[in-house]
A = this chain, B = another copy of it.
Amino acid sequence: MPDLVISIDAMGGDHGPAVVVPAVARAVKQGLDARFLLHGDERVLKPALAKLPTLAGRVEIRHTDKVIGADEKPAQAMRRGKGASMWNAVEAVKTGEAAACVSAGNTGALMAIAKLILRMSADMDRPALVASWPTLRGRTAVLDVGANISADAQRLVEFAILGAAFHHAVHGSARATVGLLNVGSEDEKGHEEVREAHRLLRTMALDLDYRGFVEGDDIPMGTVDVVVTDAFTGNVALKTGEGLARYFLARLRATFTSGPFARLGAIIASAALRRMAEQFDPSSINAAPFLGLNGIVVKTHGGADVRGFATAIRLAADLAASDFVAQIDRNLRTMTAAMPNEAAQDNAVPDDAAPNQASGVGERTKA
């Protein structure tokens, strides 16, 4: 029996078991040696599994009738979610039964439940989400593209740590190169937060290869493995990229129907064009782990098809098989060990403020 166990929310997403079960079969067929806990309605899951003999002995159904709806608010999901397929899928990671969890369910609810059950390992409000951009040199991880729409210097350093561990685990970089997104390469460019994070990343002895400021065009060029920014800028860049991919394809279609010769060219080159279009399919970049949790939770988008969900399962397995969690822990410890010096500097100002600040740092170190 394989040692690796993946816990799956079988009821999440637009299609639920109709996509999840064939996706598990696809991942196994592609060579993934793992067992699976499928959380959901056994009246649907059993007959679906019966048709897939390749999964025999690899899948255990964990029955529940309860499902978290696509429109449920995070607070509601936290209060009333206990026992739902999503809740149980995450809890299996907490108890150690599974090494990682995958869900295509309601993002806000999954984030809230994952945070409640697993807790954050970094001092963040909410998990960070990473987008893996296709680039001229491979894949570049851009984060945060989740919910941390503002980020101070320490948060940006945490994103660098999380992103480097992610790239190492998933894309196999030996020691990930990291850049900080800015509007220029000179030290004095950008906001205070970005300049301070730049200073911290240059001086802290973290297990990553910090390369300084990068700009927007460095993302598709693949200049570095990891691009760090707050979720506001990260989301805008990602959405702009998605829109621009759609724009390019629409223009390409228009170009190839602009005249008889172009049309002939399109017919002849159609196979190659289709391959290229697939590179811009958002479903190929929308599987992403929630970073910063004490455990591996991979979210894939609600509309994921079998291929997309299988990608998410393989991503979860890659993370679980790597030293992902250990690398993050090590780097966070290095960071927090370096932070008291920062605090000491801050404390130079008012005497009565010092105890509060010191205890703030203490909490950080514990987190």
Contact = CB atoms under 8 A, between A and B. Distances in A.
Contact of A268 (B150, B237, B240, B264): B264
B232 A190 contact: yes
Contact of A243 (B149, B221, B262): B221
Nearest to A216: B239
- Which of A191, A251, A256 gathers most chain B CB within 10 Å? A251
A28 interface: no
A269 B261 contact: yes
A275 B251 CA distance: 10
A141 to B, nearest CB: 15
B246 A217 contact: yes
Leading 7 A-B pairs by shortest Cβ distance: A217-B243, A216-B239, A265-B269, A216-B240, A265-B268, A220-B247, A265-B265
A276 interface: yes
A53 to B, nearest CB: 38
Given A183-B235, A217-B243, A219-B243, 13 more contacts: A181-B236, A216-B235, A216-B241, A217-B240, A219-B244, A237-B240, A248-B248, A255-B273, A255-B275, A261-B268, A261-B269, A265-B269, A269-B269
B246 A220 contact: yes
20 contacts: A136-B250, A183-B231, A216-B240, A216-B242, A216-B243, A217-B243, A219-B244, A220-B244, A221-B247, A229-B236, A232-B233, A237-B240, A240-B241, A244-B244, A244-B245, A251-B279, A255-B269, A256-B269, A261-B268, A262-B272
B135 A247 contact: yes
A216 B191 contact: no
A272 to B, nearest CB: 4
A267 B262 CA distance: 9
A273 B272 CA distance: 15
Contact of A236 (B150, B215, B220): B215
Contacts of A135: 247
A258 interface: yes
Nearest to A142: B240
A321 interface: no
Contact of A272 (B150, B216, B258): B258
Nearest to A251: B276
Interface in A273-311: 273, 275-276, 279
A32 interface: no
Contacts of A31: none
A207 interface: no
B239 A236 contact: no
A14 interface: no
A256 B262 CA distance: 13
Contact of A276 (B237, B242, B255, B259): B255
A246 B265 contact: no
Nearest to A247: B220
A217 B191 contact: no
Given A181-B236, A269-B255, A276-B252, A149 B190 contact: yes
Contacts of A269: 255-256, 261-262, 264-266, 269
Contacts of A181: 236
Contact of A216 (B236, B255, B268, B276): B236
A354 interface: no
A279 B149 CA distance: 33
